[in-house]
Structure 1
Amino acid sequence: MPWFLSRDVANDLEAIPIRVRKPADSTTLPEDFRYINKMIIGKNFIKLEDYIGCNCRPKCVANSCPCIQLNGSLPYKLGRLSGHKDIAFECSKRCSCEPNCVLRSSQNQLKYSLELYHTVDKGWAVRTLSTIPIGESLCEYLGLLRRIEDLDDGATETNFYLYDIDCLQQLKERGTTSNAIPGLESVKMDQCVTHRHPDITKAMQQARVILFAKRKIESLEELTLFYGYPIDSLKDEEGKVIKKDCYCGTPSCRKRLI
């Protein structure tokens, strides 16, 4: 295995292995690196359980499925996102439809070969080994799910990779229900995805964040995500503006993450 540190860093958690390209130097993956395919629930966080589901068999039909009707129209075409939406409602484990139902498009396992590789400016990055069509769901944004009040002091100022999954609050802050989604970049777009529940407000507050291809992604192209921080929006405990450069290299890059 001379060219790779690992043939499958996902350890069989995905249908397709995710290999790790060996760097030119002696760099290795961090010792505490662990691949996950499910959200890790933090202490004191109460996860909303799927409450109700549709009775569609074998697949959901637009004019009769209550899950599709919540979207107004089917958000996916041929399993791919058919347009920008603030939020999409999908079928859940309570639904009777089959696993290949179109309204479970973001729940499928990895469909494209990916590779971890090391860069000079950015550290470890991810690229695709095959062409990915526009609108294709790529992966879910996963990590440790915690309440904001349980974060360590200063965590929101020093951790640039925190992601607020309260889709409803994000829409309220923007004062819009338009098709715009925060965090878009030229390679990927994200979308809040949730399931049908009697309390739709709560469901939107615990939405899943799914990454979709905003455009056709060519083989060997790096996958990138813009977090949407306004420039000079974060400050440290002394009130000084926190600056972090961006090295994505895309034509539209503003050269700063925050």
Structure 2
Amino acid sequence: MAENLKECRVPCKATTDELESLCRSEGVTCKELGVSKTNLTEYEVEYLCNYKRVVPVGKLKDGTTPPPQELYMVKWRGFPESRNTWEPRKNLKCVALLSQFYEDLMLELQRQRRRSVPRRLDPATASYMVQRAKLRKRLQRWECELTALNLQRGGGRISVQNHVDLVGPPRSFTYINDYKVGDGISLTEVALGCECTDCHGKPVNGCCAGASQHRFAYNEQGQVRLRPGMPIYECNKRCRCGPDCLNRVVQRGIRHSLCIFRTDNGRGWGVRAMERIRKNSFVMEYVGEIITTEEAERRGHIYDKEGATYLFDLDYVDDEYTVDAAHYGNISHFVNHSCDPNLQVYNVFIDNLDERLPRIAFFATRSIKAGEELTFDYKMQIDPMDAESTKMDSNFSVTGLPGSPKKRMRMECKCGVESCRKYLF
């Protein structure tokens, strides 16, 4: 019986920080938690909790009153909050943490419409500072997780910022890099690949795009050169060309450094570019759980009550499947709507050529500056007069738009552009 329990694992109710604090308070070393004999009694500032200015008792030798002394309440890394201590400014070498403390404090005082730093913080403000510090820790852990997942595909850094409220990482959301296939749905992998050794310079039979009677999608810089509505056929795992092939763009994943940030106008989280993105460059995929339209209809009514929508119809030829990014998705889960977007959707086919199940890729419609928010139009329209795009439905967009059999609650648009339609749907 004991042998069968060797690989048994159960979740721990305590966090790693709590376990580390317990080890240090009890004087126990733990290799997994990084607590050793050499650092068991080391003191490192984890975050600053409070602030006050006090005037020392007595006078200096010259008879003058000593200047006020700045004291900070310190939470020590690896020790419980009961071990917090007040420390003078001269004892603290954590310049970054001090700077962050004052940034948070000034934002809170500004919210309170107070112009100067008080001699001591009131209990409510001190409590807020502790909550901000704890929130930052949670966001930093989340940021590390997202970046690690993105780096697995050679992508850029994903940072997280919240200077608006105390909302932390979504609790019921799992970050994924590829589709999660729902029950009763199967993806059929492509059986053949191209025979090209130089897909861009010397394509054989038009390479993968030509075999499907379509044009090569990218130029030498990897920018899309097809009109919206035209499908993109990339080389697949059975092609002779290598990973550096110019016809492999979307499958390489997110390449730019992006930031998930908390918006200040009630739109929840958003995504901004942390570097310049050239026009027509690939930015990200819309990834989530593939479900049937019937299941999407059921979930859609639930999401309506929550005032959010993450359902995206895969209606390139038939309206049979939907991508739901509510609980499983990538950074596109946090991209907001705009009536004047800087991202455009393209249907992409790589290892699966089933036209009912395209991959949804976002490309930049214009040059995007560093710091600019990324947006797409939830009600995208393809020119119905474009003969080459007739296979894409005119209501290719998130599920439940007018003209589709599914009806949705009207949601107010907060994009703020001059051409705003006032409603998402």
Which TM bucket (shorter chain)?
Answer: 0.7 to 0.9
| Residue in structure 2 matched with residue 126 of structure 1 by the alignment | 271
Greater C-alpha radius of gyration: 2
Pick one of 243, 246, 253 that aligns with 1:102. 246
Following TM superposition, where does structure 1 have runs of at least 4 consecutive aligned residues deviating by more than 6 angstroms?
229-232
**Whole-Å Cα distance in 2 between the matches of residues 28 and 253 of structure 1?**
30
Write the letter of the residue equivalent to 1:10. Answer: L
Please give the residue correspondences for 1:10-159 in structure 2 after superposition, counting only pairs within 5 Å.
10-14=146-150, 15-57=155-197, 59-60=199-200, 61-62=202-203, 64-69=205-210, 70=212, 72-77=214-219, 78-86=221-229, 87-120=231-264, 121-151=266-296, 153=298, 155=300, 158=304
SS in 1 for 2:248: helix
| Residue in structure 2 matched with residue 173 of structure 1 by the alignment | none
Q: Over residues 177-203 of structure 1, what are the superposed CA-to-partner deviations in whole Å (9 max), with x where a residue is unaligned? A: xxxxxx985311000011387xx6xx2
Write the letter of the residue equivalent to 2:176. Answer: I
Please give the residue correspondences for 1:109-258 in structure 2 after superposition, counting only pairs within 5 Å.
109-120=253-264, 121-151=266-296, 153=298, 155=300, 158=304, 160-169=309-318, 185-195=340-350, 203-228=354-379, 233=402, 242-258=409-425
Question: In the TM superposition, what is the alpha-carbon distance from 1:108 to its structure 2 partner?
Answer: 1.5
- After TM superposition, the structure 1 stretch with the greater mean CA deviation from structure 2, 18-27 or 150-159, is 150-159
Write the letter of the residue equivalent to 1:168. Answer: V
Question: In the TM superposition, what is the alpha-carbon distance from 1:49 to its structure 2 partner?
Answer: 1.4
Contact 2:196 2:204 in 1 (8 A): no
**Whole-Å Cα distance in 2 between the matches of residues 115 and 49 of structure 1?**
33
Contact 1:56 1:65 in 2 (8 A): no
Contact 2:339 2:415 in 1 (8 A): no
Go from structure 1 to structure 2 and tell me whether the alpha carbon gap of 1:30 and 1:85 turns closer, same or farther (over 3 Å shift): closer
In structure 1, the gaps of 5 or more residues are 171-182
Question: In the TM superposition, what is the alpha-carbon distance from 1:50 to its structure 2 partner?
Answer: 1.9
Question: In the TM superposition, what is the alpha-carbon distance from 1:58 to its structure 2 partner?
Answer: 5.2
Greater helix share, structure number: 2
Question: In the TM superposition, what is the alpha-carbon distance from 1:115 to its structure 2 partner?
Answer: 0.4
Write the letter of the residue equivalent to 2:223. Answer: R
SS in 2 for 1:167: coil
In structure 2, the gaps of 5 or more residues are 1-95, 101-135, 320-337, 381-394
SS in 1 for 2:209: helix
Write the letter of the residue equivalent to 1:162. Answer: L
Write the letter of the residue equivalent to 1:113. Answer: S
| Residue in structure 2 matched with residue 8 of structure 1 by the alignment | 144
How many residues matched? 240
Question: In the TM superposition, what is the alpha-carbon distance from 1:98 to its structure 2 partner?
Answer: 0.9
Contact 2:250 2:361 in 1 (8 A): yes
Go from structure 1 to structure 2 and tell me whether the alpha carbon gap of 1:154 and 1:104 turns closer, same or farther (over 3 Å shift): closer
**Whole-Å Cα distance in 1 between the matches of residues 284 and 183 of structure 2?**
25
Identity of aligned residues (%): 26
Give the TM-score normalised by the residue count of structure 2. Answer: 0.51
| Residue in structure 1 matched with residue 79 of structure 2 by the alignment | none
**Whole-Å Cα distance in 2 between the matches of residues 143 and 154 of structure 1?**
14
Q: Over residues 10-64 of structure 1, what are the superposed CA-to-partner deviations in whole Å (9 max), with x where a residue is unaligned? A: 1412232201113243221221232211111111111121221112225453454
Question: In the TM superposition, what is the alpha-carbon distance from 1:75 to its structure 2 partner?
Answer: 1.3
SS in 2 for 1:212: strand
**Whole-Å Cα distance in 2 between the matches of residues 185 and 36 of structure 1?**
28
Go from structure 1 to structure 2 and tell me whether the alpha carbon gap of 1:234 and 1:168 turns closer, same or farther (over 3 Å shift): closer
**Whole-Å Cα distance in 1 between the matches of residues 410 and 340 of structure 2?**
19
Go from structure 1 to structure 2 and tell me whether the alpha carbon gap of 1:234 and 1:118 turns closer, same or farther (over 3 Å shift): farther
**Whole-Å Cα distance in 2 between the matches of residues 58 and 133 of structure 1?**
25
Write the letter of the residue equivalent to 2:146. Answer: A
